[in-house]
Amino acid sequence: MLLKRARSAQKTAPSIKTKPARPAWQTHGTRVLLLWATVFAAYSNSFKAELTFDNVPIISEDPRIREATSDNLRSIFTGQYWYNKPASGLYRPLTTISYLVNYAVLGNGPRPPGYHWINLTLHELNVALVYVLGLTIFADPVLAMVLAGIWGVHPILTESVTNIVGRADLLAAFGVLAGLLCYIRSTTDDRRRIYWLLMMTTSQAIGLFSKESAAVLPAIILLYDVTPYEPRTLKNRAPGYAFLTAPFVLFSALRAASHPELLINFQENPLIHAGFLAARLTAVKVIGAFIGLFAWPGNLSADHSYNAVPIFGTGDIWENVKALLALALLAAAIVFAIRWRRRWPALFFFALFFLVALLPTSNLVILIGSIMAERFMYLPAVGLAGCVVAVAAALKWSQPRVLALTGILCLALGARTFVRNADWHDQVTLWTSAIQATPKAARPYNNLGYEMQKMGRLPEAIADYRAALRVYPDYAEAHYNLANTLLQTPRGLQEAIAEYQWSIRIAPRYAEAHVNLGNALSRIPGKFDDAIGEFQIALQIRPDYAEAHNNLGNILTQNPARLPQAVGEFQAALHISPGYAEAHNNLGNALARIQGRLPEAVLELQSAIRIKPDYAEAHNNLGNAWMQTPGHLQDATQEFQTALRINPYYAEAHSNLGSAFFSAGRFVEAIPEYEAATRIQPGLADAHYNLANALLRTGRVQQAKTELESVLRLRPDPEAWQLLNQIRGHNH
C-alpha cells in the first residue's frame, strides 16, 4: 500500500551460503505468465463468438478496412469511426486501423477468430501493465498479482474483450496505463527522463486516437502526484504535463477536420430528455449500478438502453432511493478516501482512479451516446479492484490467506467470465441473455425479433417486436421492423401499412419507413400514386438514398409510358452507388423494353453479374436479353443454365430455358424444363402453354390438351382456347 522501504540495519549478519537469488525479471515474469494463463483460461471460449451487435456494421460494412492502401488510411484519418453513421460524433482512427490490420494485413476478412486473438492479446498486455501498476502502488508483488488477477478475469470486462469492437476500450486503457507508468518512471530516472516522457506522450496519443475516454490520463497523473506517499518537487513533475499537450493539440485538430456531429438517440440515452438534476442523479445511480455489477456480476447485459435504467423521478420510489443511496455512497467514499489519504494512500488513489476513469462516460459532465454500457467499466474496474486489494492490505491478512482467498475469487470470477462469453456467441444468444438480464429494456426485444425474422421464425419475431413496443410504444424502429415482418405473412399487408404509418408519425424523417411503405402500397391496386409519393418523400429526406431511387424506378416500370423516367431513377441510384447490382439489373430490364436500347440492357445486366456473380435473377434476365438478340441463342441457354445452377428452384429460369431449347428445335429437352417450372410454380400460365406446344411437337396430344386446360383455369387466353379447340376438332 505505497509502503516505504525500511532502512537496512548497520550490523553485518554472519555469512551464510545460499542459492543465488533469481533475477527480478524472472520472478516477475513467472507471475505475469501465471496471470496470462489464468486470463486465457477464462477467455478460452471467446474465439467462438461471431460478429454480433455493433461488430456487424463496423467490421462487415466499412469498406475502408478491406485493403491496406494510402487512400483508405487517409479516409480513416479524415473520417469518423462509424462509416455508415456520420452523426456518431466519434473519432477513433487507430481503432479502425487495427481492424484494417485484421481484415487486410492478417487476411482475417470478416472471420471473427483473428479479431478475438488480437483483443485477448491486448487484454493480456493490459493485465501485465496493471501488475506493474500494483507493484508501483503497493510495493508488494503478491498484492500486485492479486490486483491484476481480480481485474483480468472479472466478467464485467467481457463486453470489452469478447466483444470485438470493445477493442477501442482495450487500446484506450493501454494508452492510459502505459502513459501513467512511463510518467512515474520519468520522475525517478533523471538520466532517461526525456525518453520516458516521449514514451508517455506516445502512449497518450495511442489511447486518445483509439477512444476519447483516454483523455483522462493527465487527471490520473495528477491524482498520482497528489497521493501522499513520498516527497516530490514541481521540477520533477511539470515537464510531464507540458509533454501531454502535444497529443491533445494534434487530436483536436484532426478530429475537427473530420467534422464530427453527435446526434444522441433518446432510445439509447433517455437522459437527453431529462432535466439537469434528474439526469445527473440518474447518472449517479448508474455509477452505483456499476459498483453493484462489479461486486456481483450476475445480471450482465449487452444493452442498458431505454427503459433499463429509469430516469430519476419517473420510476417507482425504489429507483429514486437507489439514486440517492448511490449518491450517499459515493460522497462517503470520497470523503473517507480524502480524510484517510495519508494513512491509506493506496485506497485514496484507487478510489479516485475509479471515479476519474469513469468520468468521461458517466454522463455527469457531458451527455454521451449511451446511458450505460459495461464496456465503460474496462479501465475504471482497475480502481475498484485496487480498492479491494487496498482493504485486504489494511486488514493485514497473512500472505497464505490472501493467496487462498484470491485463488477462490479468481476461480469464481473466471468461471462467470467463461459462461458470459457464451452469451456473445451469436446474435440470438446475446439478445436472449440481454432480455433475461434487463427485461425492462426495449431494444433487446427488437433486436431478437430481427434475428427471428431473418431465420424465418415470423410468429416469434412478431411477438418480440410487440414486446418491445409494450415497453416503449414510440419505438419507431420496432414499428418499422414489425411492419417488415407482417409484410411476409399471408394476410399482413394492411397491418404492415398501419405499422409503417405509426413509425412515420413518430419519426417523420424515417426515410426507410417511407420507402417500405411505398413498397407495400404498390401492392394494392389503385395506390400507384400514393406509393410514388412515399418514395419521393424519402428522396426529399435523403437525396442520396440509392434504394429509394431504385424502388421508385421499379414502380414506374409498371407503366410503359413512364419507362424513360424509370431509367432515370435507376441511373440516379447507380450514380450514388455504382456497385448496386440490383439497380444494374433493373436498369437492364427497363432498357430491354425500350426499342433500340437492347445493347445497353445487355451491358447493364453483365455489370450486375460482374458485381454479384451468384445473382440468379440477373443471369435469367441476361438470358432473356440474348433471346431477343439474333445469333445469341446459345448465350441465352448458358445464362439460363447458370441461373439454375445458382437456384435449381427458379421456375421462371426453367421456363425460359425450355423456350431456348424450343427455339433451337430441341423439343424433347424443352419438355422437362417446362415441367419443372410448372411443378415449382403451378400458377405459371406461360410455362403450361409452352409445355403444351412442346408436347404437340412430340406427338403427345392428350398431355398437351391437359396443359392447355390448366392455362384456361389460370387465366382467359384466346390463343390457348383456339389451340385447344383445334385439338378437340382434330380428335372428333
In the block, residue with C-alpha cell 421464425: 457
- Reported as a single tens digit per residue, the pLDDT across 596-633 is 999 999 999 999 999 999 999 999 999 999 999 999 99
Q: How far is CA 333 from CA 216, 338, 352, in A?
A: 20, 9, 9
Q: How many beta carbons lie within 10 A of that of residue 459, not counting itself?
A: 10
Query: What's the per-residue H, E or C state across 58-90?
Result: HHHCCHHHCCCCHHHHHHHHHCCCCCCCCCECC
662-732 and 443-661 share a CATH fold? yes
Please state, as a whole number, how many other Cβ atoms lie within 10 Å of the Cβ of residue 608: 26
Q: Which of 622, 542, 525 is nearest to 581 (CA)?
A: 622
pLDDT at 19: 44
Percent of the chain's residues with pLDDT above 90? 86
d(CA 669, CA 693) in angstroms, rounded, equals: 13
Run of H or E including 547: helix 546-556
Q: Is the peptide bond before 269 cis (omega within 30 degrees of 0)?
A: no
**Rounded Cα gap, residues 173 and 206, in angstroms:** 10
Query: What is the pLDDT at residue 238?
Result: 83
Distance CA 83, CA 104 (A): 17
What is the pLDDT, as a whole number, of residue 22?
56
| pLDDT in the model for residue 9 | 38
Q: Which of 462, 451, 470 is nearest to 487 (CA)?
A: 462
pLDDT at 681 over 80: yes
Mean pLDDT of 634-654: 96
The DSSP annotation for 590-636 comes to HHHTSTT-HHHHHHHHHHHHHH-TT-HHHHHHHHHHHHTSTT-HHHH
pLDDT, tens digit, 9 for 90 and up, residues 140-189: 999 999 999 999 999 999 999 999 999 999 999 999 999 999 999 998 88
Instruction: Check residue 23 and report its DSSP letter.
Output: P
Which helix (H) or strand (E) segment holds residue 578: the answer is none
CA distance 573 to 609: 17
User: Is residue 17 pLDDT above 50, yes or no?
Assistant: no
% of the chain beyond a pLDDT of 70: 95
Sign for the pseudo-dihedral over CA of 247, 251, 253, 254: positive
Q: What is the pLDDT of residue 507?
A: 95
Q: Return the amino acid letter for 610.
A: R
In this prediction, residue 235 has a pLDDT band, given cuts at 50, 70 and 90, of low
Please write the tens of the pLDDT for every residue from 515-541.
999 999 999 999 999 999 999 999 999
Quick one: average pLDDT of 109-132? 98
pLDDT by residue (tens digit) across 405-450? 999 999 999 999 999 999 999 999 999 999 999 999 999 999 999 9
pLDDT category of residue 190 using cuts at 50, 70 and 90: confident
Per residue in 91-118, pLDDT (tens digit) is 999 999 999 999 999 999 999 999 999 9
pLDDT at 375: 97
How many Cβ atoms sit within 10 Å of the Cβ of residue 20?
5
Q: Which CATH number is 443-661's, of 1.25.40.10, 3.40.710.10, 3.40.50.300, 3.30.930.10?
A: 1.25.40.10
User: Looking at the predicted structure, is the pLDDT value of residue 87 above 80?
Assistant: no
Q: Exposure of 235 by Cβ count < 10 A (0-12 exposed, 13-18 middle, 19+ buried)?
A: exposed
Residue 169's nearest CA partner among 158, 179, 181 is 158
Burial class of residue 221 in the structure, from the number of CB atoms within 10 Å of its CB (0-12 exposed, 13-18 middle, 19+ buried):
buried
| Separation of alpha carbons 134 and 28, rounded Å | 12
Distance CA 343, CA 390 (A): 11
What are the tens digits of pLDDT across the range 470-481? 999 999 999 999
Nearest to 122 by CA among 354, 378, 318: 378
What's the confidence (pLDDT) of residue 732? 54
CA distances to 265, 673, 697, 703, 728 from 710, rounded to whole Å, are 56, 17, 18, 11, 15
Long-range contacts (CB closer than 8 Å, 24 or more residues apart) made by 539-545: 541/509, 541/511, 541/514, 542/511, 544/576, 545/511, 545/515, 545/576
Break the chain into its structural domains and give their ranges: 25-419, 443-661, 662-732
**What DSSP string describes 450-510?**
HHHHHTT-HHHHHHHHHHHHHH-TT-HHHHHHHHHHHTTSTT-HHHHHHHHHHHHHH-TT-
Q: Are 469 and 475 in contact (CB under 8 A)?
A: yes
Question: Which three cell numbers, joined as nine digits, stand for 132?
Answer: 506493474
- Average of per-residue pLDDT values in the chain: 93
Q: For 309-319, what is the mean pLDDT?
A: 90
CA pair distance 54, 648, nearest whole angstrom? 35
pLDDT at residue 692 is higher than 60: yes
| Closest among 283, 195, 199, 183 to 236, alpha carbons compared | 183
- Average pLDDT, integer, range 196-203: 97
| pTM summary value | 0.87
* pLDDT recorded at residue 216: 98
| CA dist., res. 688 & res. 714, Å (int) | 10
Spatial separation of the C-alpha atoms in residues 291 and 458, rounded to whole Å: 39
Q: How far apart are CA 305 and CA 444, in angstroms?
A: 9
Residue 368's pLDDT is: 95
Please report, for residues 324, 683, 691, the alpha-carbon distance to residue 662 in angstroms, rounded to integers and kept in the order given. Answer: 82, 21, 10
Inter-residue contact 538 to 551 (CB < 8 Å): no
Q: Which residue has the higher pLDDT, 595 or 260?
A: 595
Start-to-end CA distance of the chain, whole Å, equals 111
Specify the fold of 662-732.
1.25.40
**What pLDDT sits at residue 259?**
79
Looking at residue 24, its pLDDT comes to: 67
Alpha carbon 501 to chain centroid distance? Answer: 28
Q: Distance between CA 213 and CA 361 in Å, rounded?
A: 7
Dihedral of alpha carbons 164, 168, 172, 174, sign: positive
**Which residue type, as a one-letter code, is found at position 728?**
R
259: left (phi over 0), alpha (psi -120 to 50) or beta: left
